[in-house]
Amino acid sequence: DIQMTQSPSTLSAFVGDRVTITCRASQSISSWLAWYQQKPGKAPKLLIYKASYLESGVPSRFSGSGSGTEFTLTISSLQPDDFATYYCQQYNSFSWTFGQGTKVEIK
């Protein structure tokens, strides 16, 4: 199975900060990567698919980039509603796999 590694595991930031989360795949996944946001006690929410395509209804401060084995999720100006855990997921090949998550906390 393809291993997905996110960094950092935890990130502390201020409202208004630019935040970047990195996701690395153990082998090339082309652009078949999605990003999700999860808040405590809730189901994940799709933010980005195919590495850089913004899901409908997701604020434009979220963006994704990368291909091959290295990907990033960027929040251009962190808002109070953005404090959550973020997961990357590859869907290049079975079994589909997720990263371990990055928790974005208030500084």
Partner 1 sequence: QVTLKESGPALVKPTQTLTLTCTFSGFSLSTSGMRVSWLRQPPGKALEWLARIDWDDDKFYSTSLKTRLTISKDTSRNQVVLTMTNMDPVDTATYYCARLGYCKGGNCDCGGCFAYWGQGTLVTVSA
Q: Are 19 and 74 in contact (CB under 8 A)?
A: yes
Exactly one of 20, 45, 58, 65 binds partner 1 (CB under 8 A); which one? 45
Exactly one of 18, 50, 68, 70 binds partner 1 (CB under 8 A); which one? 50
Tell whether residue 54 is a contact of partner 1 (CB under 8 A). Answer: no
Tell whether residue 57 is a contact of partner 1 (CB under 8 A). Answer: no
Torsion of CA 10, 83, 14, 54, to 10 degrees: 100
Tell whether residue 89 is a contact of partner 1 (CB under 8 A). Answer: yes
Tell whether residue 101 is a contact of partner 1 (CB under 8 A). Answer: yes
Tell whether residue 36 is a contact of partner 1 (CB under 8 A). Answer: yes
Tell whether residue 102 is a contact of partner 1 (CB under 8 A). Answer: no
Alpha carbons 73 and 86: distance in angstroms, whole number: 9
Tell whether residue 49 is a contact of partner 1 (CB under 8 A). Answer: yes
Residues in the chain, how many? Answer: 107
Q: What DSSP state is assigned to residue 15?
A: T
Q: What are phi and psi of 28, to 5 degrees?
A: -60, 135
